[in-house]
Structure 1
Amino acid sequence: MSCEVDTSLEILFKKFRVRKSRLPAVIIARCDLLTKKIVFEEAYEEKSLNEIKDYLPEREPRFLAYTFLFKHEDGRISQPLVFIYVSPFGCKPELQTLYSTSVRPCLESLKLAKCFTVREIEEISDDWLMGMFIFTSNIVNLPAPCAYPGFVCKFLSPLMVIVLLTHAKETVVAFRKRLQVAPALDAMQRLCAKNMVHRSYAAEV
């Protein structure tokens, strides 16, 4: 069973999408177990992911809508809005099930295209987001279920996973040479070294 997005959260999110400020900002949402609605919890501005992760519970999932400035290789500056599904290890199975089945309804209701999943709160940082954003911006037409934890191994063969990891590393190396984004390379190298795409894999859905 999945949760529906509460109307008040939808209204708040519409205002969030058209905000004029270019500073980073986040909306944190949770699933209300009584009403079975995805409801607003907190919002922060002028805070990086490194700071925001300190406000997240250690044993409960959360949904994050996060906007930040991104510099493209051609010098353009954009302000992407991404969805981050935080599902820490140690959560109650029923909570993980409720949140994971609510990801797609939340994405569709809030009209978000890019989704990142992370299983360890300590992994969340600006460097991690930059590495994953560069990675997914250069991979297209992946199956939507890959946005969910554990699905990559079901939809991709071991050979395809190796190819994607290699491509990701080469992509970030190229960006580092052009943009000198050393943190992004370090973040992707850690992911490649772990060889666990399903833990923090992101895909366009």
Structure 2
Amino acid sequence: MSSALNICEIPEDVRKILKEFRFKQVESFEAVILKINATNHTIILDTRLEDSSIEELQEELPDQQPRFVLLSYKLTRPDGRVSYPLCLLFYSPTCKVELQMLYAGSRNYLVKEAGITKLAEVRELEDITQEFLDERCG
């Protein structure tokens, strides 16, 4: 039986945000951006994007610091079916090794605690496209 490594804690207020977001059906692109407070090793809310776009998400993400992005959007499939994928995007650009390890070590725990089944990882902002999200999250 495997368990997720718990390097960082998820405070109750963040757990509540994750739960609310998980059960929300969105009509547009929405995201919850989380970061790690390296001082006390907790996962905290960085920002929320509502009725947003991939371009706005790219603008919100820092160039040299990892982030966890819980995202959902309306996806209309070629056969007309509509779904609302929920996905955790692990954004891990080039940065200090210690910071990368802190995020990488907390990723699976966050996925487990948030009840997310789809995970995508990206290193470059330009790689976050609609096609990428549809392929990895849809």
TM-score by length of 2: 0.89
Matches within 5 A, 1:44-193: 44-89=49-94, 91-133=95-137
Output the amino acid matched with 2:100: Q
Which one has a bigger Cα radius of gyration? 1
The Cα shift of 1:69 comes to 1.0
Which residue in 2 is equivalent to 1:197?
A: none
Structure 1 unmatched ranges of 5 or more: 135-205
The percentage of aligned residue pairs carrying the same residue is 29
Out of 24, 27, 36, the position equivalent to 2:41 is: 36
Output the amino acid matched with 1:109: E
Distance 2:18 2:110 in 1: 11
Which residue in 1 is equivalent to 2:32?
A: 27
Match of 2:13, SS?
A: helix
The Cα shift of 1:67 comes to 0.2
Aligned-residue Cα RMSD (Å) equals 1.6
Distance 1:25 1:34 in 2: 28
Bigger relative CO (Cα 8 Å, ≥ 6 apart) = 2
Aligned partners of 1:30 and 1:38 also within 8 Å:
yes
More strand by share: 2
More helix by share: 1
Structure 1 residues 56, 105: closer, same or farther in 2, change over 3 A?
Answer: same
What is the aligned residue count?
A: 133
Structure 2 unmatched ranges of 5 or more: 1-5
TM-score by length of 1: 0.61
The answer on 1:6 being equivalent to 2:5 is no
